[in-house]
Amino acid sequence: MVWLAAQMWILLTLSLALGLLGGWWVWHRPPNKMDEEADKELARLRSRFEESEAEKNKLRSQLLEYESQSEQEPADESNGAVDPILYESPSDGQPDDLKRIKGIGPQLEKLLNEMGIYYYHQIAAWTDSQAEKIDDKLRFKGRIVRDNWRAQASTLSAKR
């Protein structure tokens, strides 16, 4: 029994020594070249992230500044917002076939004619705000921009 306890003591001491040696080797080995490159890449990416965050914050502050300026300015309809050109009746002879514009069918052409829009050049001359007003009247949210009526009308007007 004494002999067995002595043998176990030797084995326990040997396993402790091997564990300490293995731990020292794992924690004190020289750094790997790939680890150094990964650390450099990580530092570079963190730097770019911080720069983009700073740029985002700068743009956000500019946006807030512009929004506050626009809220301070009175909403004046005469600051360049002109109503689109509308006619009482087709004054340049026969009205254009507005159905040739993608997105305009017979019903929509009839509504446009009732509003005073008969010609391609009228649609081609719309500004963004004018197109938005017409779009609101037609109750087709974004249809004019989505189907690109102004560019189509400009092309058709040039062919006319």
pLDDT tens digit sequence for 99-113:
999 988 898 889 888
Contacts of 106 (CB under 8 A, 6+ apart): 99
151 and 112 part of one domain: yes
Residue 21 confidence (pLDDT) above 80:
yes
In a domain, 16, yes or no: no
In a domain, 62, yes or no: yes
Q: How far apart are CA 117 and CA 88, in angstroms?
A: 9
61 and 105 part of one domain: no
108 and 61 part of one domain: no
Among the ranges 11-20, 22-31, 148-157, which has the highest mean pLDDT value? 11-20
In a domain, 52, yes or no: yes
Q: How far apart are CA 136 and CA 130, in angstroms?
A: 10
Based on the number of CB atoms within 10 Å of its own CB, is 113 exposed (0-12), middle (13-18) or buried (19 or more)? middle
- Determine contact, residues 100/151, Cβ cutoff 8 Å: no
In a domain, 132, yes or no: yes
Decide which of 55, 71, 87 is a domain's last residue. Answer: 71
In a domain, 19, yes or no: no
50 and 102 part of one domain: no
**DSSP H helices in the chain:** 2-27, 33-72, 106-115, 120-124, 128-138, 143-146, 149-159
What pLDDT score was predicted for residue 80? 52
Query: What share of the chain has pLDDT > 70, as a percent?
Result: 89
Token output for 40: 């450099």
In a domain, 42, yes or no: yes
What pLDDT score was predicted for residue 74? 52
In a domain, 24, yes or no: no
Residue 35 confidence (pLDDT) above 60:
yes
Containing domain of residue 139, as a range? 98-159
